Amino acid sequence: MLTLRATVAGLSMAFVLSGCASTDLAWLGLPYDATDVDRRNYAALKAERFPLDAVDLARLDPRYRRQEVTYATSEAPGTIVVDTSARYLYLVTANGRAMRYGIEVGREGFGWSGSATIARKAEWPKWTPPAEMVARDPRTKPFANGMPGGPENPLGARALYLYQNGRDTLYRIHGGGRPATLGKATSSGCIRLLDHDVIDLFQRVPTGAKTVVLPDPQLTRTPVAAVAAGS
């Protein structure tokens, strides 16, 4: 049976925006200097239920490595702000600062923006593709009743579930990202981080946290949330 990772990889190759240039410059032989903080942030996580290898920092563009930055916003500390056009997720802290993470966002036709609340969090979550996704791509049909959490699951190590007015938007902030695809519009509408980064974010953010997803004018917004559940 075709694994879901292979399916997702195939979908990504089919739908990656032609205007998105790769930020993976390792093939050019350009050296990236990794700091001690980088090495700690992306070290192997052997205590996870499904242990994670260390991230290959040579393939992780320094722009998308987790880091604390200066960030001017009127949002209160503890708020998540997703800047889809810049491909960053910010967790607002205090004194004009934020923790910044590199992300992947929804490809053209599956972008979404708005304000929501983190109503639920899950470790190594189950993934269930919505009916619209199954109809769109029959390769997801074997998983129509759900796929258990694990390394093949497109939600990755953690998921934070976005709700509006008490209702599930079917959009997630989740793991499963890869260094080579950070900064691109490749997912089916959700906000995807590296597993190491989503684990860090998961630990910092409580349920009830406000999340603001800023629109990207280059992505076509669709009001039908159901097309984008999952990965």
Q: CA 139: distance to chain centroid?
A: 22
For the chain, give every domain's residue range: 4-228
Confidence category of residue 27, pLDDT binned at 50, 70, 90: very low
What was the pLDDT predicted at 33? 63
**Residue closest to 212 by CA, chosen among 144, 120, 130, 116:** 116
Q: What is the mean pLDDT of the chain?
A: 82
Residue 217 has pLDDT above 70, yes or no: yes
What was the pLDDT predicted at 230? 52
Torsions phi, psi for 197 (to 5 deg): -75, -40
CATH number assigned to the domain covering 4-228: 2.40.440.10
What was the pLDDT predicted at 46? 97
pTM of the model: 0.80
> Which helix (DSSP H) or strand (DSSP E) does residue 6 occupy?
helix 4-15
Residue 123 has pLDDT above 90, yes or no: yes
